[in-house]
Amino acid sequence: MKIFLIEDNRDLNQFMTDTFVKIGYEVVSCCDGQKAFDLVNELYDLYLVDINLPNLNGLELVKKIKTIKNDAKVFIISGDDNIDTILEAYNLGINDYIKKPFDLREILAKINVVFENINQNEIKITEDCYYFCDERVVKFKGKIIKLTKKESKLLDILVKNMGKMVSTKDIELAVWGENFENGHTRQLVSKLKKILPCDDIIKNHSSNGYGIII
């Protein structure tokens, strides 16, 4: 899981970053609101945002995050306990508002609750390549590659049957439904092979089907 931490208290920022990394999370951290604003275009699993940031209010940052990805998971971490501020944050669509001072174990517990089913969306293809089902994107070494609806449907059935061959008929049903577009499967597979940055992992077995065999 990749976390974007925006906290201007450098000691707290470092402590949280070190703890998350030890657990196994990937962390990008920032201490400045405006700098964070310029970095949120990348895909992160969780945003941890302080409100009182230098150069840009954290709530403005949340607005941009939600514009880019409406279902982004966002936790506010703030010493501001004004009810109007809290309500404004929730109206922006945040998942939780954690008041300072806090025990980091509280945040870890809340992360586990929110992300207990995250692996259903994130599928590892290779060491550097992941497929995100809901967003219909491939992520390779931090680079986001968007897929069309049909490309995503094809990759979806292949990654969910990784290590096995999927019949051409099953692929056609998954991609086109009952309205088969005969002859288009091979073209779609060829296009997806060119898009994927991984090595040639999509294999075909004569004319019987295709599979991701690593």
pLDDT of the chain along its 214 residues, tens only? Answer: 889 999 999 999 999 999 988 877 889 999 999 999 888 877 788 999 999 999 989 999 999 999 888 888 999 999 999 999 999 999 999 999 999 999 888 898 888 878 765 555 677 788 778 888 878 888 888 788 889 989 999 998 888 887 788 888 888 888 888 766 666 888 899 999 888 887 678 888 756 789 887 6
CATH 3.40.50.2300 boundaries in the chain: 2-116
pLDDT of residue 82: 93
155: closest CA among 121, 198, 202, 119?
Answer: 202
CATH 1.10.10.10 boundaries in the chain: 126-212
Q: Which residues of 47-76 are buried (b: 16+ CB within 10 A; e: fewer)?
A: bbbbbebeebebbebbeebbeeeeebbbbb
For residue 17, the surrounding DSSP H or E stretch is helix 10-23
One CATH from 3.40.50.11540, 3.40.50.970, 1.10.1660.10, 1.10.10.10 for 126-212: 1.10.10.10
pLDDT of residue 30: 94
Q: How many CA atoms lie within 13 A of 148 on its CB side?
A: 8
pLDDT of residue 6: 95
DSSP state of 86: H
Spatial separation of the C-alpha atoms in residues 80 and 10, rounded to whole Å: 18
Considering the entire predicted model, what is its pTM?
0.57
Tell me how far CA of residue 42 lies from CA of 4, 36, 143, 199, in angstroms: 10, 11, 8, 24
Architecture of domain 2-116: 3-Layer(aba) Sandwich (3.40)
